[in-house]
A = this chain, B = another copy of it.
Amino acid sequence: MSETATAVHTPEAGGSYVPTDRTIPTRGRPKASYDRELVHSILDAAYVCHLGFVRDGAPVVLPTLYGRVGERLYVHGSTGSRPLRMAGERREDPGLPVCLTVTHVDGLVLARSAFHHSVNYRSVVVHGVARQVTDPDEKRTALDALVDHAVPGRSRDSRPANAKELAATAVIRLDLEEVSAKVRTGGVNEEPEDLALPHWAGVLPLVSRYGTAIPDKDLDPSVALPDYLAAL
């Protein structure tokens, strides 16, 4: 869980993003992967990312919802929010350099030595320039994707944004071009001479799951929990 590499996707790349100069990791394990299917699977299993950008020369990292449509990620927010304003809305605007990172923590790896303690995880790091989405059709598609990314099928079972809501919402787009994934799985890596130490060692899996759905207090009792929610 340290340095992460990035990569550029070209159509020629087949199933992988292509590593780029700024993106080869200096070191660190696990090694970076540029496999597109792996990247998509990690992105699609979460709906909150950490979005980094630079403001007045200093880094800012904010948690935010995202959605994916093919090789594009979308992030939305109030039209007044700083990163969305900074992304610009005119075609000639330079856009906002961002780093969008998604991480799943899958378990704790407890070694006999403090040094070899680790975490099983899956992460994706995307570098690029975010730009505001101004095309109304793309904006609607992006907002549907944001809702469906969290709950597949939900956008069809909710009231779409009206003109006022659309106007109050800014959406930025980030293309999946410079992308890498890192995945750590499995058990303990230990120095051979530590194996006889009297400390428990192994993996403590971390599991995230949905609890029982809590209906809104004003929900019409005749509205049952939809199948797409019950299936989560």
Using CB atoms and an 8 Å cutoff, list the residues of chain A in contact with chain B. Answer: 1-4, 22, 26-28, 47-48, 50-54, 56-65, 77-78, 80-82, 97-101, 103, 105, 107-108, 110-115, 117, 119, 121, 123, 125, 127, 143-144, 146-147, 150-151, 154-155, 157-162, 165, 169, 187-188, 190, 194-220, 223-226, 229, 232
Contact = CB atoms under 8 A, between A and B. Distances in A.
B160 A187 contact: no
Contacts of A224: 200
Given A159-B113, A199-B159, A62 B2 contact: yes
B147 A114 contact: yes
Contact of A201 (B146, B212, B215): B215
Contacts of A207: 208-211
A54 B59 contact: yes
Contact of A218 (B143, B195, B229): B195
Each complex incorporates copies of this chain amounting to 2
Main secondary structure of the interface of A (DSSP, over half): mixed
Given A52-B99, A113-B165, A206-B210, 20 more contacts: A3-B82, A4-B62, A47-B119, A48-B103, A51-B61, A58-B99, A59-B61, A62-B101, A63-B103, A108-B150, A110-B151, A110-B229, A158-B199, A159-B194, A195-B218, A198-B220, A200-B215, A205-B214, A207-B209, A207-B210
Nearest to A126: B61
A81 B27 CA distance: 7
B59 A59 contact: yes
B214 A203 contact: yes
Contacts of A150: 108, 117, 119
Given A58-B54, A97-B59, A220 B196 contact: yes
A158 B59 contact: no
Nearest to A27: B80
Contacts of A47: 119
